[in-house]
Amino acid sequence: MTMNETGGEATFADLGLRPELLQVLSALGYEEPTPIQREAIPPLVEGRDLLGQAATGTGKTAAFALPVLQRMAGPGAAGPVTLVLVPTRELAIQVSEAFHRYGREMGARVLPIYGGAPIGRQLQALKRGVDVVVATPGRALDHIGRGTLDLESLRTVVLDEADEMLDMGFADDIEAILASTPEDRQTVLFSATLPPRIDGIARRHLNDPVRIEMGHKAAEGGQTTPLVEQSAYLVARAHKPAALGRLLDIEAPAAAIVFCRTRDEVDQLTETMNGRGHRAEALHGGMDQEQRDRVMSRVRGGTADLLIATDVAARGLDIEQLTHVVNYNVPSAPEAYVHRIGRVGRAGREGVALTLAEPREHRMLKAIERVTGQRISVERLPTVADLQARRMELTRAALEECLLQDDLGPFHVVVESLTDEFDLMEVALAAVKLAHESSGAALDEQEIPEVAPRTVDKGRGRREAGPGRERAARAPAGGMARLFFSLGRSAGIRPQDLVGAIAGESSLSGRDIGAIEIADRFSLVEVPQDAADEVIAALRRTTIKGRRPTVRRERDMRERR
């Protein structure tokens, strides 16, 4: 089954979720299930096993969290009923937070368990009783070994981002954990990619699973119009409003629609953009018909130049003047992207589609490219200098237009009286400055930090230093720092031990880690420059293969460059 084939308009209520969950989803401003949720929730509620291909951004977390909560008998059971295994601490926290959010009306007790956090607090929480445990494999095994994580009452095991867990060398840990869970459990596996190793796990541990794959089908001819110019920008969540403002300033669209995920996001962003001097209007499913009509007439009449909307509210709208579609987040499925960008570039007019993506969502852009068969070029966000240059250009264009209008007569007297005292060039410069500033172009802008995608291209892969390799000759890859670990081959260290420790203890994921070199008595690992200090601090608190390593930046790096 592919997402293309269903694509119905099922609501969360149609998926058979309990009132407490529906209430929370509506309070969160979720208007409708994403495609993966439409497909995954009903079989998971029935108790089926599932193998799902889903990247971050598709709504996969709710796709497994909601059915787990739906099936929960209510708090008070003996041990945890659900175990979610995730590759990193960062994801453990995110997934726990999602369970908390969705399960708050039901009083669901959720506990994240990951290395690096004090084990005492985890032990206390486990003793008090929890319903859902979200854990990294290493720490989960630790607790199982100590007898502090009892898996007898488990009903569901979820392997989230399974491909990443395998990449990080957790295959054996996962096998060991699954072996300690009840045979009749429900098993759910989500993975951004489905390489043969994932199929192997699915064959061994999933029982007649429902399979959900992202549509690989190319869009039917002409669905996306070739006249839409498509680009994407990688930006951290905190900088998204500034990034949107910057892009709109540069693009200066006649009218644009900005798509958000939830009602709350629409409301907040509308307020922010109005605060930045845009004329933005919100449109979402929480508004009645009269309110929506009012908004649409302001957009059509040109009193608003920015429509900020959810997919549901914007469905079926046809707005003549639209030149730009902005995806404030990567849409939850390629099909949604196709529908959104179909709003511009109609009737032979050119359109522009801009997508803001968080680094983790980079993969989703690739999935969209596969489905549309069109390229989305990932661009650098405009800098303050770009913006200033563009504003100068706009001022120049405005002056040129004014010169061509030939109605400057009344101003002669001003210029003439000034030229008694000043040079003509100086007078012109002062006039340009005034025009430039009065266009609001003197705003104090700050640079938006650049971020790299959270995927490492395989070519840069990891390698061990062979006996003949002259490691000192090589500088770290751009943007990377090389860390020294005082443990090497003689301590039995393998690349996966280092990857597992770093990803388990810090916010990095396996894919963020660059080349690894293992020598007899020490190892060198490349990590992103801006995460180096965090990794050092985290790794100093931990042990690898039972030993506490010295970790520091490689000392002679600077001389070598």
Of 56-64, 78-86, 338-346, 410-418, the segment contacting ligand AMP by CB under 6 A is: 56-64
Task: Name the minimum Å distance from CB 32 to ligand AMP.
Answer: 6
Contact between 461 and 499 (Cβ < 8 Å): no
Of 57-65, 103-111, 520-528, 546-554, the segment contacting ligand AMP by CB under 6 A is: 57-65
Asked if 62 interacts with ligand AMP (CB under 6 A), we say: yes
Of 58-66, 459-467, 490-498, 550-558, the segment contacting ligand AMP by CB under 6 A is: 58-66
Residue 103: DSSP 8-state: T
Asked if 57 interacts with ligand AMP (CB under 6 A), we say: yes
Residue 86: closest CA among 135, 131, 133, 130? 135
Contact between 263 and 286 (Cβ < 8 Å): yes
Give the residue with the Cβ less far from ligand AMP, 30 or 233.
30
524: which 2 tokens? 């060198």
Give the residue with the Cβ less far from ligand AMP, 61 or 224.
61
Give the residue with the Cβ less far from ligand AMP, 58 or 523.
58
Asked if 59 interacts with ligand AMP (CB under 6 A), we say: yes
Amino acid at residue number 294: R
Give the residue with the Cβ less far from ligand AMP, 510 or 549.
510
Give the residue with the Cβ less far from ligand AMP, 241 or 476.
241
Give the residue with the Cβ less far from ligand AMP, 57 or 103.
57
Task: Name the minimum Å distance from CB 62 to ligand AMP.
Answer: 4
Burial environment of residue 162 by CB neighbours within 10 A (0 to 12, 13 to 18, 19 or more):
buried
Task: Kindly write out the interface string for residues 8-37 of this chain, putting x where it contacts ligand AMP by CB under 6 A and - elsewhere.
Answer: ----------------------x--xx--x
Contact between 46 and 119 (Cβ < 8 Å): no
Task: Name the minimum Å distance from CB 12 to ligand AMP.
Answer: 8
3-state SS of 65-95 is HHHHHHHCCCCCCCCCCEEEECCCHHHHHHH
Task: Name the minimum Å distance from CB 214 to ligand AMP.
Answer: 12
Q: For residues 222-242, b (16+ Cβ closer than 10 Å) or e, as one string?
A: eebbeebbbebbbbeeebbbb
Task: Kindly write out the interface string for residues 438-477 of this chain, putting x where it contacts ligand AMP by CB under 6 A and - elsewhere.
Answer: ----------------------------------------
Asked if 60 interacts with ligand AMP (CB under 6 A), we say: yes
Contact between 194 and 121 (Cβ < 8 Å): no
37: which 2 tokens? 């949720």
Task: Name the minimum Å distance from CB 89 to ligand AMP.
Answer: 16
Cα 189 from chain centre = 20
Give the residue with the Cβ less far from ligand AMP, 91 or 491.
91
Q: Among residues 26, 180, 231, 262, which is the contact residue for ligand AMP, using CB under 6 A?
A: 262
Give the residue with the Cβ less far from ligand AMP, 30 or 484.
30
| Cβ partners under 8 Å of residue 163, min gap 6 | 191, 192, 193, 194, 195, 197, 198
Give the residue with the Cβ less far from ligand AMP, 61 or 70.
61
Asked if 240 interacts with ligand AMP (CB under 6 A), we say: no
Cα 556 from chain centre = 36
The dihedral sign for the CA sequence 430, 431, 432, 433: positive
Give the residue with the Cβ less far from ligand AMP, 265 or 505.
265
| Cβ partners under 8 Å of residue 247, min gap 6 | 233, 326, 354, 381, 382
Asked if 190 interacts with ligand AMP (CB under 6 A), we say: no
Q: Among residues 61, 82, 96, 187, which is the contact residue for ligand AMP, using CB under 6 A?
A: 61
Asked if 96 interacts with ligand AMP (CB under 6 A), we say: no
HSE value, Cβ hemisphere, 13 Å, CA-based, for 561: 9
Largest CA distance in the chain: 96
Contact between 160 and 85 (Cβ < 8 Å): yes
Residue 528, CA distances (Å) to 466, 525, 553 in order? 24, 10, 12
Q: Among residues 56, 82, 156, 372, which is the contact residue for ligand AMP, using CB under 6 A?
A: 56
| Size, binding site for ligand AMP by CB under 6 A | 13
Residue 324: closest CA among 399, 230, 235? 230
Asked if 362 interacts with ligand AMP (CB under 6 A), we say: no
Asked if 261 interacts with ligand AMP (CB under 6 A), we say: yes
Where do contacts with ligand AMP occur on this chain (CB under 6 A)?
30, 33-34, 37, 56-62, 261-262
